[in-house]
Structure 1
Amino acid sequence: MVRPRPLPVDPLAEAKRQWVAHGWTDAADGMTVVTSVMRAQQLLLARVDAALKPFALSFARYEVLRLLAFSRTGRLPLSSVVARLQVHATTVTSTAERLVRDGLVVREPHPHDGRAAMLALTAEGRDLVERATAALNADVFADPGLSHDDAAELVAIVARMRRDAGDFIDPRPLPEPL
């Protein structure tokens, strides 16, 4: 991957300067936070996409496979996948349909609810997600581009933001296993 040459000035610092110069001082810090996080997301997603490309997986498809692989039986109700990934049901349904089409997941009837569906990982899906996880761990997660202390601080800050936005209630020190 060819990296672009760094800019001589941080464009987000310049944007903040412009915000202040235009009289939007009260919103300047917030604009800088939002655009900084969005740019960081772009940078991280580019690394994730590059690591997953050899496996023909998007991050959304990877997340569903990884979630199923983490479960005790390799299967979860579709509603549990929606809740745990915190995305809209139609997004998970669309992603699951592609995974089914590719033979990585099968859709099964729910054992207790005739209206609900279960997603179950196939052997091919399990093999693929394990190989993709090894690549993500080596190429992205082992070195996200921050020191250990900065990474911990960033995660804590974002967790407070997510909690305050209603993403979750303060969890136990470690979540319960799937």
Structure 2
Amino acid sequence: MPAPDPIAEAHRQWSARWPEHADHMAAVTSVMRAQQLLLSRIEAVLKPYGLTFAAYEALRLLAFARSGTLPMGKMGTRLMVHPASVTNVIGRLEGRGLVGRAPSPDDRRVVLATITPAGRELAEEATAALNASGFGIAELPAEGAAAIRAALHPVRRVTGDVED
């Protein structure tokens, strides 16, 4: 028998004290818990490749780039992370020979990250594993995954992440 749902219990407690906020609290808490669960599953798939999800995303982004090279500032924007996080991830990937880093020949203030052949190969292998795992939710039909994406779009919109 599964354990009682702590989010349902929190919702019950909130409903008794702040009923006008209970659904919002439970929605946010549910999203945060789902994020924890999914990240755990994805990181388990990536562990044999020596990658975190952040490192995988950086490799995949570089692999998608036509030239295999992107400015690190642009990577931070596309990955939606702080520039320091990009620097950290790229530094670890560079240490493994998966990425190279160099100043831009056009603007020495810009640092370019370039995926190496070994990085491209690892990105492809890890992508195949993530695809095979259904990104941690293979048990969920594609329609369910599409419904989640659609349900979260208004949250992203009201928080200023995307426009309609």
Q: TM-score range by the shorter chain?
A: over 0.9
| Structure 1 residue runs without a partner (length 5+) | 171-178
What amino acid is the match of 2:40?
A
Q: Does 1:34 align with 2:31?
A: no
What amino acid is the match of 1:27?
H
Inter-partner Cα distance in structure 1 for 2:137 and 2:11: 29
Aligned residues: 164
- Comparing 113-122 with 154-163, which one deviates more in the overlay? 154-163
Q: Does 1:104 align with 2:98?
A: yes
Q: What is the DSSP-based 3-state SS (H/G/I as helix, E as strand, rest coil) of the residue aligned with 1:119?
A: strand
What amino acid is the match of 1:15?
A
Deviations 1:129-164 (A, max 9, x none): 110111111013384442322221210121221122
Deviations 1:9-40 (A, max 9, x none): 2221111111112x111111011001111111
What amino acid is the match of 2:7?
L
Matches within 5 A, 1:133-148: 133-141=127-135, 143-148=137-142
| Structure 2 residue runs without a partner (length 5+) | none
Matches within 5 A, 1:58-137: 58-137=52-131
Q: Does 1:6 align with 2:2?
A: yes
CA contact (8 A) 1:79 1:89 kept: yes
CA contact (8 A) 1:47 1:140 kept: no
Alignment equivalent of 1:15, drawn from 10, 14, 20: 10
Inter-partner Cα distance in structure 2 for 1:167 and 1:74: 26
What amino acid is the match of 1:139?
S
Structure with the largest fraction of helix: 2
- How high is the TM-score relative to the length of structure 1? 0.86
CA contact (8 A) 2:100 2:115 kept: yes
Which portions of structure 1, spanning 4 or more consecutive aligned residues, are displaced by more than 6 angstroms?
A: none
Deviations 1:105-148 (A, max 9, x none): 00022132110111000011011111011111101338444232
What amino acid is the match of 1:13?
A
**Aligned Cα root-mean-square deviation (Å):** 1.5
Inter-partner Cα distance in structure 2 for 1:82 and 1:155: 22
What amino acid is the match of 1:19?
W
State percent identity of aligned pairs.
Answer: 51
Inter-partner Cα distance in structure 2 for 1:86 and 1:154: 20
Q: What is the DSSP-based 3-state SS (H/G/I as helix, E as strand, rest coil) of the residue aligned with 1:134?
A: helix
Inter-partner Cα distance in structure 1 for 2:127 and 2:31: 24
- How high is the TM-score relative to the length of structure 2? 0.93
Inter-partner Cα distance in structure 2 for 1:67 and 1:43: 23
